Chain A
Amino acid sequence: MRQSVGVSDAGFELKGVRVEGSPRPRLDGVDLDIPAEGITVLAGASGSGKSTLLRLLNRLDVADAGSITWQGVPIQETDVLMHRREVGMVFQHPTVAPGTVLENFRIGAMDLDEETGADLCGLVDLDPSFLHRSASELSGGERQRVCLARTIATGPAVILADEPTSSLDPAATDAIEDLALRFVHPDSPMQISWIWVSHDPAQCRRLADRVVVLGEGRILATGNAVELAEHGDADVRRAVGGER
């Protein structure tokens, strides 16, 4: 179990965030601080609003009410394209563009040279020979690592990961989790924090410095997985794999 870290002003701050939906709001009055350090896992049942919350943070969606700040600045006041490079996103299904791995790296970093491409491969445990392979012919786990490296190429401070291992086999899942843990290790030369959506309690316990449990568009609880395993709400205990 990983140790909890404190809330930092350098991260995201959400106040009264609401996203309309049918038959009920996707998010309803969400107040939340997410630090820009370590790994924050957003847990909860399907339809609880985890992915909606993540999309708001990358500005792929906008809230109908409330405010979101990133590093103290309301996100709608920042340049959206710069924001997305600073707050990268990795999706559930590893969606690669047609072309080689190097061409995929260059989507967000047009001037990226082969040497830097090879370094990126190294960061996600891919052999540099992958650079000239067709991205669409790779396995699911390899493609997800290409997507991760493609996001890292834009130089993000935090990566929003929307169930990035849910379509992968256990070995590929372990590999992606190891990469995430490596980037938050104090000795890592490249520090990237994560906001990671997961519906897998075991993964939540393996990764989370801090857990945010959502239910029906609301925050049910925040804290570390050990504390939440003893929580009074059965949905919260279930989200972190505590006793039912």
Chain B
Amino acid sequence: MNEPLADIGLAGLAISGILIGVALALSLVRRLGLEKDLIVAALRALVQLLVVGFALRIVVDDDDPLIFTWIWVVLMAVVAAWTVRRRAPEVPNVIPLSLSAFAAAAVVSLGVLFGLGVFEPTGRAIVPIAGMMIGNSMTATVVVARRIVAEANDHRDLIEARLSLGLSAQDAFAPHLREAVRTGLIPQIETTKTVGLIALPGAMTGLILAGVEPVDAVRVQVSVMYLVLGSVSATAAVMAIGLTRGLFTSDHRLAGRGSVSSPP
């Protein structure tokens, strides 16, 4: 490993604050009225990350038991599930469904990466990898869940027409489900296709800044990209199955006599 480039010290951190000054100056000159938001955002990022950084010292310390690491991962999943609910309030039962989806994604992706020995199961590896898994799964969950509910509401007539012809709920909704899941997966597939061409991905950038050889960083990055694709697919599949069950009754009717939404 080369000399780490990432140890910027307090002075370096303070100097990087000049860039916030540039943004503030632009806001003032152009009368954008964003000065307060910029200052709050910059301070919040600093404080939040400092808190996370100190907490992570415990979580990623190789001398501490892994239980702290896994508690951290569960907390990340819970926060992500609440975030999904805030971003997709119209989706029924979204918190338990999101948690189930994250659990499935964790089993698939962490199971492969740690179970098959791609990475050592240490706190230092589990936390960032689980973070990337949950972060990307959360985005996919919001997109897929909102799309599924929108498809059920927008195409209620066609779905009922199919049901009235004797199709099961699963068959009647299949074309709409396919569309919703594709909507959730395509952005991630496109990102995977163009990775490195437009911008260097985060994990790779971090490793290079930390002094890792670029080719070594690529190996890690590619495994992370595969992790993300696998996680997003698992998440979308669980949301698709879980939400479809919630949208229909056991006797193959659309649930509710109005539109599909969360109870008030």
Q: Does A165 contact B (CB under 8 A)?
A: no
CA distance A91 to B167 in the complex (A): 16
Task: List B residues 218-264 near A (Cβ within 8 Å).
Answer: 251-254, 257
| B74 lies within 8 A of chain A by Cβ | no
Per the CB 8 Å criterion, the residue count for chain A at the interface is 24
Give the chain A neighbours of B253 by CB distance below 8 A: 59-62
A199 part of interface (Cβ distance < 8 Å)? no
By a CB distance below 8 angstroms, the chain A residues around B165 are: 84-85, 88, 107-108, 150-151, 154
Q: How many residues of B contact A (CB 8 A)?
A: 17
Complex CA gap A222/B163 in Å reads 30
A195 CB–B CB distance under 8 Å:
no
B166 within 8 A of A: yes
Q: Which residues of B contact A60 (CB under 8 A)?
A: 160, 163-164, 253-254
Nearest-neighbour CB distance to chain B for A122, whole angstroms, equals 20
Say whether A80 contacts B167, CB under 8 Å: no
B163–A91 CB distance below 8 A: no
* B164/A95 in contact, CB under 8 A: no
B167 touches A81 (CB 8 A): yes
A147 contacts partner chain B, Cβ-Cβ < 8 Å:
yes
Distance in Å from the Cβ of B248 to the closest Cβ of chain A? Answer: 11
Residues of B contacting A34 in the complex (Cβ-Cβ under 8 angstroms): none
- In Å, the complex CA distance between A134 and B165 comes to 20
Task: Contacts A59-B251, A59-B253, A62-B253 given; indicate if A81 touches B160 (C-beta within 8 A).
Answer: no
Verify A91–B161 contact, CB threshold 8 A. yes
Specify which chain B residues have a CB less than 8 angstroms from the CB of A81 in the assembled complex.
166-168, 252
Q: Which B residues, 152 to 173, have Cβ-Cβ distances below 8 Å to chain A?
A: 157-158, 160-168
B164 contact set on A, CB distance < 8 A: 58, 60, 84, 88-89, 91, 151
Q: Contact between A97 and B162 (Cβ–Cβ < 8 Å)?
A: yes
**Does A82 sit within 8 A of B, measured CB to CB?**
yes
Q: Are A82 and B166 in contact (CB under 8 A)?
A: yes
A98 to B176, CA, bound (A): 11
By beta carbon, the residue of chain A nearest B159 is A95
CB-CB nearest in chain B for A155: B166
Q: Please, which residues of chain A bring their CB within 8 A of the CB of B168? A: 81
User: In this assembly, does A231 line the interface, its C-beta being within 8 Å of a C-beta of chain B?
Assistant: no
* Listed A/B pairs (24) with beta-carbon separation below 8 Å: A61-B253, A76-B251, A80-B251, A80-B252, A81-B166, A81-B167, A81-B168, A81-B252, A84-B163, A84-B164, A84-B165, A89-B161, A91-B157, A91-B161, A91-B164, A95-B157, A95-B158, A95-B161, A97-B161, A107-B162, A107-B167, A108-B162, A150-B165, A154-B165
Interface positions of B (Cβ within 8 A of A): 157-158, 160-168, 175, 251-254, 257
